[in-house]
Amino acid sequence: MAERSYLSIGQVVNLLRGTYPDLSNSKIRFLEDEGLITPHRTPKGYRQYSMDDVERLEVILHLQKTRYMPLNVIKQRLESADDLHTLAYEVGLLSDVPMKTQPKETKQKLHPLEDVPDLLGVSISFVRSLAQNDLVRIIKSPKNRELIDGSDFEIIRYCDELSRFHIEPRNLRQYVVSANRESTMFEQVLVGMLGLDDSDEDRSAKLERAFKKLHDLTDGLHTALLKGRVFESLNAVVKDADVDSIDDELARAEASRESKRNAGDAASRTESTNRTGTLTDAPISQEATSSRRTSRVVKRAR
């Protein structure tokens, strides 16, 4: 691993102290003494922590903080875990199940069906069920060997995670139909989007970026529609009650606005009347003043 990929013990403390205020250098060294973490050492003996070490440390601290687990139990849990990312999800440290990714050469490779259980942790019967529902394809070699395309691994993983919610492959057939229907629209739109992309990237990178943009938009629309339908169904009673009372609420709101409008009109009329009265009184006042002045002049002349 590159040198810059490592953190010093002080950097690790600073990185995690926001979530774990009591974390210190001595505590990390204690966890190392207990055999829970094993950082890399420089030739001079300085500890260096990879991001995997930091993630492992965070799982330990999370289990201590939220589950109050003793260190020996945490150690057993770590040793029995097949994957640290999955363990982090299971204990509530991650909100989403991390999907393992395969290198490009694996995705582009055909794999014997009998190797899939070791590669993905799913049964052959499960993969056959996926194939029966057109979610993946089982390819036959010239010697009649059953093969799975590495590009289907991601689909198999998603379906495996969904099976934990008792969603079976036959329930996912609708997504195959939807994908087949949407792919035609995507192909037509992406051709136009590629024509407008004048960057220096190769066609594959352009296609990936254009597809992501289009997918994000359509996926957002699909999510909003699906959420609306589901929430509307689960809150049907509340929404029915709202519909029953909406006329009364609107009538009260309209009456309130009308009342405020009338009050405002009345206030405007009163203000206008007062202003008119003041303007009318002004000439009378000036005439009276002029009369008094004339009276004083006559008296002086006498």
The pLDDT assigned to 1 comes to 35
Sequence-ordered list of residues with C-beta below 8 angstroms from that of 163, at least 6 positions apart, any chain: 126, 169
Same domain, yes or no, for 86 and 140? no
Q: Is the pTM of this model over 0.75?
A: no
Contact in structure between 267 and 273 (CB atoms under 8 Å): no
Last residue of a domain, one of 68, 90, 112: 90
Decide if 272 is inside a domain.
Answer: no
Q: CATH number for the domain including 166?
A: 1.10.1660.10
| Cα end-to-end span (Å), the chain | 122
Residue 295 carries which side chain, given as an amino acid letter?
S
Q: Is residue 125 domain-shared with residue 169, that is, in the same domain?
A: yes
pLDDT of residue 302: 52
Check whether residue 111 and residue 86 sit in a common domain. Answer: no
Please report whether residue 157 resides in a domain.
Answer: yes
- 23 inside domain: yes
pLDDT at 297: 46
Q: Report the alpha-carbon distance of residue 163 to residue 158 in Å, rounded.
A: 9
Residues 194 and 136 both lie in one domain: yes
Q: What contacts 107, CB < 8 A, 6 or more positions away?
A: 150, 151, 153
Number of domains the chain contains:
2
Clarify whether residues 36 and 118 are in a common domain: no
pLDDT of residue 149: 92
Q: Are residues 38 and 110 in the same domain?
A: no
Whether 269 is covered by a domain: the verdict is no
CA nearest neighbour of 189 among 167, 211, 174, 168: 211
Nearest of 105, 123, 106 to residue 114 by alpha carbon: 123
What radius of gyration, in Å, describes the C-alpha atoms of the chain?
A: 38
Give the C-alpha separation, 135 to 128, whole Å: 10
Whether residues 85 and 130 share a domain: the answer is no
Helix (H, G, I), strand (E, B) or coil at 266: helix
Has residue 212 been placed in a domain?
Answer: no
**Which residue in 44, 75, 60, 54 sits closest to 10, CA to CA?**
54
Distance in angstroms (rounded) separating the CA atoms of residues 179 and 156: 16
Task: Tell me, yes or no, whether 194 and 109 share the same domain.
Answer: yes
Q: Mean pLDDT in runs of 10 for the chain (302 residues)?
A: 65 86 93 93 89 89 86 89 73 57 63 87 92 94 91 89 87 92 88 71 79 85 82 60 67 86 79 63 51 52 51
Integer angstrom CA distances of residue 181 from 170, 185, 290: 18, 7, 95
Torsion from C-alpha of 54, 60, 63, 65, nearest 10 degrees: -80
Q: Examine the domain organization and report whether 83 and 124 are in the same domain.
A: no
Tokens of 84: 């640290």
> pLDDT value at position 199?
64
- Position 119 scores a pLDDT of 81
Buried b (16+ CB within 10 A) or exposed e, 23-55: beeeebeebbeeebbebeeeeeeebbbeeebbb
Which among 77, 74, 49, 73 has a CA at the least distance from the CA of 61?
74
Confidence (pLDDT) at 247: 73
The answer to whether residue 39 is domain-embedded is yes
* Together in a domain, 85 and 149: no
Of 63, 90, 117, the residue that ends a domain is 90
Residue at 292 is within a domain:
no
State the helix-helix crossing angle for 9-16 and 25-33, rounded to 10 degrees: 110
Q: Is 287 helix (H, G, I), strand (E, B) or coil?
A: helix
205-252 pLDDT, tens per residue? Answer: 878 888 888 888 888 888 888 888 877 777 654 445 555 666 777 788
For residue 4, the model assigns a pLDDT of: 43
110 and 86 assigned to the same domain:
no
Judge whether 172 lies within some domain: yes
Write out the residue range of the structural domain in which residue 141 sits: 104-198
Q: Are residues 14 and 79 in the same domain?
A: yes
**pLDDT score recorded for residue 34:** 93
Residue 237 is predicted with a pLDDT of 46
Query: Which of 90, 115, 130 is a domain's end point?
Result: 90
